[in-house]
Amino acid sequence: MRSKRIYRRVFFYLLILNILGLSIFLYLNIIKKIPDEIKILVGTEERFDFNMPIKAKIETEDIGVISVNDLSVPSNQISIDLNKPFTLESSKTGKYNINLKLFGLFDFKNISLDVIETVELIPCGLPIGIYVETDGILVLGSGRITGEDGLNYEPINNKLKSGDYILKINGEEVEDKEDLIEEIQESEGKDLRLLIRRNDEEITVRITPVKATDGKYKIGAWIRDNTQGIGTLTFTSTNGHFGALGHGITDIDTGLLMEIKDGTVYAADIMSIIKGKEGEPGELIGMIRQSNKHKIGRIKNNTLQGIFGTIDGNYQWLLNEKPLEIGLKQEVQKGPAKILCTVQDKVEEYDIMIENVDISNSNQSKGIVIRITDERLLDITGGIVQGMSGSPIIQNNKIIGAVTHVFIQDSTKGYGTFIENMVNNIE
């Protein structure tokens, strides 16, 4: 009798655990499939089909502005059933909140509904040389110093961390790593007060330089104050802005998004190509034309969605090319598309296939999966290679995204970001 009670109790607990596990799985699956933000164009009907057991209510004080399934709905009565296909349209730009209820009962998630004007961008595909200076001196890591006494020292141990930015020494700003090295030498081993930025917080640390065997004072920090590389210009806007790369510039050693003080985009020439193969991504080898004559523009922001700035100098002609409307992420479809890129002497269109679209992907640079199908490009590069990041993706005569990453094990495939993720940074 007692063994039966134990068996029933174990069975009950297992049943509860299974229900709990199923609930968590369902919750995470719904979270994954529902985006945090939806954009629609003002005056344009957009269709959605989430097929999720969720009710939604749009919160707005503007009566009759938003219509659902072609019906204008009064304020505070805009209800949507996400288990069925539905359409949204708004006669007015603005930001609205959509409150989701699981099974129509439990508060689940809030979505931002952003109604925007029609946006036109000029797709580019030009190779660019990128030069940026960090906002402060970036600390990459630490190393040991052998002092004059033959002992090993680590002056920055537990004081500076990889990813810190050195802003000031003893109250004086440091412009570049040469300034930092000079201040350390002039300290003659006395304590230095370093103002650093760590995760958006400024703190002060004290570090004592060590006189090394070569007679120079050192603190044992690996540092960087600039970086450069090759990428692709994604678009320009008719009012003089540009976007490129589709992903941010990260430091090769720390893997962190670089905080930049200044940056410039130059014209670049592709000199040679290393073809991609399984396990080894290829690369465009280019020469940066780093002069005022070949300066394309100034970088204003380095973000997770790419680099952004303004066109100037001798490249104003870029603003006179034919613009295309942007395609929002709900418009992107599996099937044929094209990319624009330069792998020889000029920008050309190449055929691709969009194999997957994930409008809710939290990693904004990987919402689209593409495969190169154009034999010309496959013959030249083997697929997607480093330096092609930022190549605009065109579908149905709209610019819908930009190439961001290559699959390491299959260079014919890669990821793209939705163009609306990039547009967020120029609005």
Q: What is the pLDDT of residues 234-252, one digit of tens each?
A: 999 988 899 999 999 988 8
Mean per-residue pLDDT, 141-163? 89
Q: Is 374 a catalytic residue?
A: yes
| 298 strand-pairing partners | 264, 310
Cα angle 326-97-417, degrees, rounded to a multiple of 5 = 30
End-to-end CA distance of the chain: 72
Q: Of the listed 247, 365, 405, 411, which one is catalytic?
A: 247
Q: In whole angstroms, how far apart are CA 108 and each of 286, 359, 361, 366, 378?
A: 49, 19, 18, 25, 46
At 203, the amino acid letter reads: I
pLDDT for 116: 86
pLDDT for 61: 62
Name the helix (H) or strand (E) containing 9.
Answer: helix 2-33
Going edge to edge, which strands form the sheet with 66-68? 46-48, 86-90, 66-68, 71-72
3-class DSSP string for 135-156 = EEEEEEEECCEEECCCCEECCC
Q: Of the listed 176, 179, 269, 374, which one is catalytic?
A: 374
Q: What is the DSSP letter of 291?
A: S
Look up residue 267 and give its two tokens: 């014209």
Q: Chain-wide mean pLDDT for the chain?
A: 86
Q: What is the pLDDT of residues 61-114, one digit of tens each?
A: 665 677 777 766 555 556 777 778 888 888 888 888 877 776 656 677 777 888
| Weakest mean pLDDT among 20-34, 173-187, 267-281, 337-351 | 20-34
Is the distance from CB of 292 to CB of 422 less than 8 angstroms? no
pLDDT of 406 over the 80 cut:
yes
Continuous H helices in 194-247: none
State the chain's maximal CA–CA distance in angstroms. 92
Taken as a whole, the chain contains a residue count of 427
Q: Who wins on pLDDT, 395 or 85?
A: 395
Name the helix (H) or strand (E) containing 128.
Answer: strand 120-142
Q: Of the listed 142, 389, 391, 411, which one is catalytic?
A: 389
Q: Is 262 a catalytic residue?
A: no
Q: Is 191 a catalytic residue?
A: no
- Sort strands 368-372 and 306-311 into parallel, antiparallel or unpaired: unpaired
pLDDT of 164 over the 90 cut:
yes
